[in-house]
Structure 1
Amino acid sequence: MEETIYSVTAGIIKSLDSDLESSYTKSILAELRNSINRDNDYSGIVWQLLFDKLPKDFLNNHRDGNLTKEESVILNTLQLYSVHQQGKNESVNLEEKEYVNDAGHFCVQYDGHNYHLDMKKSSDDQFTNHRVFQDASKLSKYVEEWASNFDKHSPNFDKSSSNEKKYTINFGGSLSNYRARLNDKTALDRRFNTMMAASTYEEFLNNLRHIIKIVKSKSTVQINYPKLAKDLYEFMGSEKDREKLQLIWSQSYYFKHNTGENSNEK
C-alpha cells in the first residue's frame, strides 16, 4: 500500500501516544516544541524521529539542506501536536481511520458536519462540480446514481469504495465543537478569520499555532493531526487548493450546531 502524508503522520503520532509518560517521549515532545521557528537548527532526536519514519519518496534525495514539502508539513504537524500535548496525560490526537472516497470521478470529504462531494466527468478532467450533503444516506444515494455513469474501464475506478461511510474531521470541524461551547466567540472568530486570510504558509502556520495554544489552555478538544498534516500539504499546493481548503475549514467552523442548516442536498 502506498504511504501517504496521513498514514505516515498517523504512524509517528501513534508511536508517541503509546508511551506518553516515558522520559524518552517527553524529551522528544520537548525538543519538537523547542524546534519551532529555529530554521532547521534542530536537535538530533528531532531529525531521527523524522527521517527514520519517512518513506524514501518523501525525503530530499539531493541532500542540499532543504526540506521537501512532505518533510516540512509532517515536521510542522508534529510541532503543533507537541504544543497541544504538553502537560496532558491523554492523547490530544483524534484517532480516526482515514477515508476519503476518491474513485477517479468523485471525491468525498467530511468536515465534521457536512459531506463535500466533488465530481468530474472523466479521469482527465479537474474536479469542477461541488455539492454539499448533511445526510450520509442522501450522499450515498447520489453517489450510486453518479457512479452508474462512470467509465467502468477506468484504471482509477473502484465502485466498491462508494459503500464506505467513514470520513475524517478537519481542523475547522474540531474547532467548531469547541466554539459551540463558548459564550463569547469574538476572540476565537477573529483569530480564525485572520488565519483564513493568510496568504503564505508561514503566516497560516503561525496563526494555527496560536489557535492551538488557545484551545489547549481552555478545553480538552482533540484534533485529527494526520488529517491536519494532509491539509497543510494541500495549503502548500496551488492557489486553488489553498482556497478550497480555506472554504471547507470555514464551512466546518461556522456550522450551526443547534439549527438545521440549508444545503444543496439532492
Structure 2
Amino acid sequence: MISTVNGVTKSIIKSLDSNLQSSYTKAVLAELRNSINRNENYASKTWQLLFEKLPKDFLNTNGYLTREERSILAVLQLYAVHQQGNLETVNYEQEEFIDTVGHFDVQYANKKFFVNYKVINADNETVTCNRSFEKYDELVNFMNEWNAQIPNKMPKPRKYSSNLGQSLNVFRSNLNDTTAIDNRFNTMLTASTYDELLNHLRHIIKIVKANKQVKINYPQLAKDMYNLLGSENSRNRIKLQWSQAYYHVDSKKENSNEK
C-alpha cells in the first residue's frame, strides 16, 4: 500500500480523474465541497474515499483526525472546489530535470507523456525540442540516453516538483494589476493558524479557478500542507518555497514583451 501523503493523494485524485463525468464522481466532489468547515461531521462518501486508500499508520483510533488525514482531506476539498465546472482535471503534475545544457519539462495528458527539452545547437543557440511517449519506461530511457551524452564532469540532473506558488504565478503573470491577488497571497502566508491559512487558500482557489490555464499539483500540495502542520521550521520553509515561486519573473518572457 502507498505510504506517503502525496502518494495517497495522487492515488485518490487519479481514481476521480479517471471518470470525472460519472454520477458517482460528481457526488463525491459535491460531498467534499459540502464537507468544508463541518467539524469532521462528514458523510459516508468522504470517509470511504479517504479511509480506503490510507495505510494503517495514517489512521487514528481516538476519534480525531491524524496529521496525515487532515492534510489529505483538506487538499481533496480544495481539489473539489477547483474542479467544479471544469470538464478536464485541474490536477497538474510536473517534473523538471535541470542541468547545464537545458531541462526537461514533462507533462502527462490523454494517457501520453509530453516532454519539452532544450539543447544547444552548433551555433550555440538554445533550441526547444518536443517528444511524446505512450509508456513511462520509454520516457525514462530517453532521458537517461540524453543525459548519458553529457560529459561526466557536468552536474547530474536534479528533480523538482511544481508547488502552489508556481501555479498561482501563472494566474498572476496574466494580470495587469496584481495588487489584489498579491494581498490575498500575503494574507494567507501571514495567517496565525493552519485553519486560517487553509481558509484563505480556499478563497484564492475560487478566484483562480476561472482561469483554465491554472492547474495545481495537488499531491505536492498535500505534502506541503502536511509540513505546514509540522514544526515552525517546516512551516517557514514551505512558505518561503511558495513565495519564491509565486514572485518569480521569467526574465526572457519579460524582455520579449519590451518594445
Matched, 1:5 2:5: yes
Cα distance, 1:258–1:96 mapped onto 2, change above 3 Å = closer
- How far residue 98 of structure 1 moved from its aligned partner, in angstroms, is 9.8
Cα distance, 1:260–1:27 mapped onto 2, change above 3 Å = closer
Paired residues, number:
203
Ranges of 4+ aligned residues in structure 1 off by more than 4 Å: none
Return 5+ residue gaps in structure 2 as ranges.
Answer: 98-146, 255-259
Alignment of 1:1-266 (within 5 A): 3-60=3-60, 63-96=61-94, 163-258=156-251
Once residues 82 and 98 of structure 1 are traced to their aligned partners in structure 2, the CA distance between those partners, rounded to angstroms, is 27
Equivalent residues of 2:171, 2:211 under 8 A apart: no
Amino acid at match of 1:20: L
Amino acid at match of 1:14: K
- How far residue 219 of structure 1 moved from its aligned partner, in angstroms, is 3.9
Once residues 196 and 29 of structure 1 are traced to their aligned partners in structure 2, the CA distance between those partners, rounded to angstroms, is 27
Once residues 45 and 234 of structure 1 are traced to their aligned partners in structure 2, the CA distance between those partners, rounded to angstroms, is 26
Q: Deviations over 1:112-136 (max 9, x none)?
A: xxxxxxxxxxxxxxxxxxxxxxxxx
Once residues 219 and 67 of structure 2 are traced to their aligned partners in structure 1, the CA distance between those partners, rounded to angstroms, is 15
Structure (1/2) with the larger strand percentage: 2
What is the alpha-carbon root mean square deviation over aligned residues?
2.6
Give TM-score scaled by structure 1 length: 0.71
- How far residue 259 of structure 1 moved from its aligned partner, in angstroms, is 5.4
Once residues 167 and 248 of structure 1 are traced to their aligned partners in structure 2, the CA distance between those partners, rounded to angstroms, is 12
Once residues 250 and 237 of structure 2 are traced to their aligned partners in structure 1, the CA distance between those partners, rounded to angstroms, is 22
- How far residue 220 of structure 1 moved from its aligned partner, in angstroms, is 3.2
- How far residue 260 of structure 1 moved from its aligned partner, in angstroms, is 9.3
Once residues 193 and 179 of structure 1 are traced to their aligned partners in structure 2, the CA distance between those partners, rounded to angstroms, is 13
Q: Deviations over 1:145-185 (max 9, x none)?
A: 8xxxxxxxxxxxxxxxxx45432110001111111111111
Question: Identity of aligned pairs, percent?
Answer: 58
- How far residue 11 of structure 1 moved from its aligned partner, in angstroms, is 0.5
Cα distance, 1:226–1:198 mapped onto 2, change above 3 Å = same
1:217 match: secondary structure:
coil
1:166 match: secondary structure:
strand
